[in-house]
Amino acid sequence: MASLTAGPGRDAYSQVLAVPVPRIRIEPPRGWLELRLHEVWQYRELLYFFVWRDIKVRYKQTVIGVLWVVLQPLMTMGVFTIFFGRLAKLPSEGLPYPVFYFAALVPWAYFATALANCTNIVVANQHVITKVYFPRLVLPLAAVCSGLLDFVIGLVVMITLALVFGIHVTATVTLLPFFLILALLTALGVGLWTSALNALYRDVASIIPFIIQFWMLASPVAYPSSLVPARWRWLYGLNPMAGVIDGFRWALTGHGQPPGAQMVASTAMVVVVLVGGLFFFQRIESTVADRV
Amino acid sequence: MSTAVIRAEGLGKQYRRGMAETRGTLRDALTNFARAPLAALRRPKQEVFWALKDVSLEVREGEVLGLIGRNGAGKTTLLKILSRITRPTTGWAEIRGRVRSLLEVGTGFHGELSGRENTYLSGSILGMSKREIDRKFDEIVAFAEIDKFIDTPVKHYSSGMYVRLAFAVAAHLEPEILLVDEVLAVGDIAFQKKCLGKMGDVAREGRTIILVSHNMAAINSLCSRCVILNVGGVEFDGPTDKAAARYYAESLSISSGSDLSARRREGSGKARFTSISIQPLDPVGRPLDVAFPGCNLSIDTEIECKSDFAPANLAIIICDSNGYRVVDTNTAQKGQFVSMRTGQVARANFQLREVLLKPGKYIVGLWLGREAMEIIDYVEHATNFDVMESEETSLHVIVFPGVYLCRFDNSVTIQ
């Protein structure tokens, strides 16, 4: 055994590596206010591997793979163009119907998949959770990140589509990342709640498809938010996806609602849901391994 | 003077019965709440049980601690608390150093990914950095002996290849503190020896290890100190040889009646051993009152099948009072396998010939399963029997060590 004298908080290994020895204290969970976000940063490589695993497995399993990512929103766009556009003649803020719908369907598809994955991810990984320690927050984060690749593919198709219809990308596109982050945080915020609830009540996952359908109708995907009277716009904005979808369309095409009161309401809602979700999730986290 | 790297005081873990089951559906919860809000908010009185109660211990740097006890004693719960997988209900623990835990073989493995991809994935989940895995990748593949198949999807691996790769990844963890839960019994004998050897290397490098195992040979060879857990509490904490003797002294005091319904067992339960009886016989087949070295043993056991199972291996295992497995006679050795359908009852008979065991107490276990894939029923202590002194063994007063009483002729000539 090494004969180096050990000082306080250091031992033989750390003397050699000049790295402080981690000191962990294990205790019963205490109340609601335990957030260990710095730990998540320490485990960022694991987050990368979870995302990588999800993407690899998804693409290995489907023959159509990449195509499906694009086919789904394209087909929905087709149906919307015929029924909501040509037949029902809903307004589209000056954009050709396909562009109007697709610009909303790309972020929506990302959000819907991210939320669904997030809800299931804790239960789906129960065999790992019960065998190894890592901050459980890594899982919902991985769930919302693994859809980003599909999102980028959809974005490329979107821009191509816009060019085909003669819509040019304007300077507003530089704000696109902000709206993407907002979409991610919304999915994460809601996902933290549903994920924790799903670990407690297993039927939550089966309610999610219905919630997503309903939510899509409540968001400006198939219609512009200008349909909503101005004085109710802030209430409508409490749906964070309203801000996201509108913002997306506006950033990508320059048409539509520039961010305003609605956007403020949306962002505020996201923050509330996210912070609440973080605490709720961490609270349930300490007992998840006992429940699965 | 090495410092304590793990210190635990009063650790306790309480489970509510049925905690593993979820609280029903959200719909039920909401309906109950709507019907009687106050009643729903009041937490229902649930039966609780303590998986661990008031466990305190200290592990010094570089120590290899064995953790033994019956199934359900709380060993895995203790490891889970020290690994931070679950939180304690009472008490605290302090750990100085990086902890990695090995509670299962193949953590994180995904069938669709190749061996290479799974090595990175599992390595990362177990706690290695990508750089570390890059550095050790070739070693891991060589240890697992699957060089040619490293890029095939793991779902195509045989069960042997799978466990070899899984263990190889885990064996290359280099934490200061390693918590190992019964994962050394994987693969064939040659590989198990390799795993034990690797564990030995890890121990010699000065890392601190807590090892949970039923394999007393492993415990004896690796651990200088042993803790016996019994129904959630520490029953013994001291040198390994004393711990082993104490642990086996207890198990031998189980009544050796032939009815097995109340015995502790593991397995899927598709079939159950219901009874066992042992009859010593002399070389011409006449029954004897007691066994002595060199006699024959006729062992009868009955199995009841609860649900169909595919061809399985049926084994009679005899361990000595130190827990060393000295005899393992099984149908697979003869290329025979047992399949049963629901409701059938099987009677198996093993005739062990010239059982040259030294006088002492022996424990008989019964095992039915499919290697590495499924344990159907395993009764570790089905019954026990004594091998008595015979004429050949009682010519000298001193009891010589060893298990196998080898027959020999000798002559000594003095020049």
- Confidence (pLDDT) at B252: 54
Distance from CA of B18 to the nearest CA of A (A): 9
Q: Are B199 and B289 part of one and the same domain?
A: no
Q: Are B293 and B237 part of one and the same domain?
A: no
Where b means 16+ CB within 10 Å and e means fewer, B268-277 reads eebbbbebbe
Q: Are B309 and B355 part of one and the same domain?
A: yes
- A156: tokens are 């490329």
**Most A-contacting residue of B43, B55, B86 (CB-CB within 10 A), to test interface:** B86
Model pLDDT for residues A32-62, shown as the tens digit of each residue: 666 778 888 989 999 999 999 998 888 876 7
What percent of chain A lies above the pLDDT cut of 70? 89
* Backbone phi, psi, residue A167, to 5°: -95, 120
- Confidence (pLDDT) at B257: 53
Q: Which of B23, B112, B130 lies at the smallest CB-CB distance from A201?
A: B23
Collect all residues of chain A within an 8 Å Cβ-Cβ radius of residue B25.
201-203
Distance from CA of A92 to the nearest CA of B (A): 39
Domain residues for the domain of A152 are 46-291
**Most A-contacting residue of B14, B15, B22 (CB-CB within 10 A), to test interface:** B22
Q: Which of A1, A22, A132 lies at the smallest CB-CB distance from B126?
A: A132
For residues B293 and B279, what is the distance between their CA atoms, to the nearest angstrom? 14
Q: What's the order of all strands across the beta sheet hosting B99-102?
A: B99-102, B177-181, B208-212, B64-69, B225-230, B233-239
H/E stretch holding A229 reads none
Q: Is residue A284 part of a domain?
A: yes
Q: Is residue A31 part of a domain?
A: no
Contact call for B94 and A134, based on CB within 8 A: no
Q: Are B96 and B237 part of one and the same domain?
A: yes
Q: Is residue B400 part of a domain?
A: no
**Most A-contacting residue of B125, B129, B131, B178 (CB-CB within 10 A), to test interface:** B125
Q: Is residue B405 part of a domain?
A: no
Domain residues for the domain of B151 are 4-250
Q: Are B196 and B284 part of one and the same domain?
A: no
**The CATH number of the domain where B367 resides is what?**
2.70.50.60
Please state the domain count of chain B: 2
Please state the domain count of chain A: 1
Q: Are B79 and B194 part of one and the same domain?
A: yes
Could you tell me the CA-to-CA distances from B153 to A256, B20, B77, B111, B144 in Å, in that order? 49, 33, 33, 6, 15
Distance from CA of B175 to the nearest CA of A (A): 11
Whether the per-residue pLDDT at A17 is higher than 70: the answer is: no
- For B77, left (φ over 0), alpha (ψ -120 to 50), or beta? alpha
* Backbone phi, psi, residue B237, to 5°: -145, 105
- A237: tokens are 């904005």
Collect all residues of chain A within an 8 Å Cβ-Cβ radius of residue B29.
201
Could you tell me the CA-to-CA distances from B217 to A65, A178, B185, B192, B363 in Å, in that order? 51, 61, 11, 12, 16
Return the residue of B nearest to A52 by Cα: B121
Model confidence band, residue A13 (pLDDT cutoffs 50, 70, 90): very low
Q: Is residue A29 part of a domain?
A: no
Q: Is residue A241 part of a domain?
A: yes
* DSSP 8-state assignment for residue A43: T
Q: Residue A64 in contact with residue A71, Cβ under 8 Å?
A: yes
- B409: tokens are 């002729």
Burial of A254 (0-12, 13-18, 19+ CB in 10 A): middle
Q: Which of A46, A56, A133 lies at the smallest CB-CB distance from B117?
A: A56
Q: Residue A246 in contact with residue A225, Cβ under 8 Å?
A: yes
**The CATH number of the domain where B155 resides is what?**
3.40.50.300
Q: Is residue A23 part of a domain?
A: no
For residues B196 and B221, what is the distance between their CA atoms, to the nearest angstrom? 9
Q: Are B245 and B161 part of one and the same domain?
A: yes
Q: Residue A154 in contact with residue A110, Cβ under 8 Å?
A: yes
Of B221, B250, B279, the last residue of a domain is B250
Collect all residues of chain B within an 8 Å Cβ-Cβ radius of residue A204.
26
Q: Residue B340 in contact with residue B305, Cβ under 8 Å?
A: yes
- B37: tokens are 């809000």
Q: Which of A2, A132, A197 lies at the smallest CB-CB distance from B26?
A: A197
Cα angle B275, B305, B371 (rounded to 5 degrees) comes to 90
- B303: tokens are 């199995």
Model pLDDT for residues A220-245, shown as the tens digit of each residue: 998 888 888 888 888 888 888 988 89
Which one, of B223, B205, B207, lies nearest residue B215 by Cα? B223
Q: Are B220 and B285 part of one and the same domain?
A: no
Of B250, B280, B307, the last residue of a domain is B250
Q: Residue B340 in contact with residue B274, Cβ under 8 Å?
A: no
Q: Which of A11, A28, A53 lies at the smallest CB-CB distance from B3?
A: A11
**Most B-contacting residue of A39, A133, A146 (CB-CB within 10 A), to test interface:** A133
Size of the A and B interface in Cβ pairs below 8 Å: 129
Collect all residues of chain B within an 8 Å Cβ-Cβ radius of residue A52.
121
For residues A17 and B136, what is the distance between their CA atoms, to the nearest angstrom? 19
Contact call for B104 and A131, based on CB within 8 A: yes
Model pLDDT for residues A115-127, shown as the tens digit of each residue: 999 999 998 898 8
Q: Is residue A276 part of a domain?
A: yes
* DSSP 8-state assignment for residue B328: E
Q: Is residue B337 part of a domain?
A: yes
**Most B-contacting residue of A50, A132, A208, A282 (CB-CB within 10 A), to test interface:** A132
Residues of chain B falling short of pLDDT 70: 1-2, 17-24, 37-46, 185-187, 249-258, 390-401
Contact call for B15 and A128, based on CB within 8 A: no
Q: Are B242 and B275 part of one and the same domain?
A: no
Alpha helices, H only, B235-303? 240-252
Contact call for A49 and B2, based on CB within 8 A: no
Q: Are B125 and B65 part of one and the same domain?
A: yes
Return the residue of B nearest to A197 by Cα: B26
- Confidence (pLDDT) at B413: 84
Of B220, B250, B280, the last residue of a domain is B250
- Confidence (pLDDT) at B194: 82
Contact call for B87 and A197, based on CB within 8 A: no
Model confidence band, residue A3 (pLDDT cutoffs 50, 70, 90): very low
Which one, of A248, A238, A239, A246, lies nearest residue A220 by Cα? A246
- Confidence (pLDDT) at A117: 93
Contact call for A290 and B19, based on CB within 8 A: yes
Whole-number mean pLDDT of chain A? 84
Q: Is residue B86 part of a domain?
A: yes
Which one, of B63, B80, B66, lies nearest residue B4 by Cα? B63
Task: Find how far residue A27's CA is from the centre of its chain.
Answer: 32
Count of beta carbons in the 10 Å neighbourhood of residue A44: 11
Q: Are B308 and B218 part of one and the same domain?
A: no
Contact call for B83 and A133, based on CB within 8 A: yes
Q: Is the model's pTM score more than 0.80? A: no
Q: Which of B113, B117, B124 lies at the smallest CB-CB distance from A45?
A: B124
Contact call for A1 and B62, based on CB within 8 A: yes
Collect all residues of chain A within an 8 Å Cβ-Cβ radius of residue B20.
290-292
Q: Residue A143: what residue type?
A: A
Q: Which of B22, B85, B92 lies at the smallest CB-CB distance from A27?
A: B92
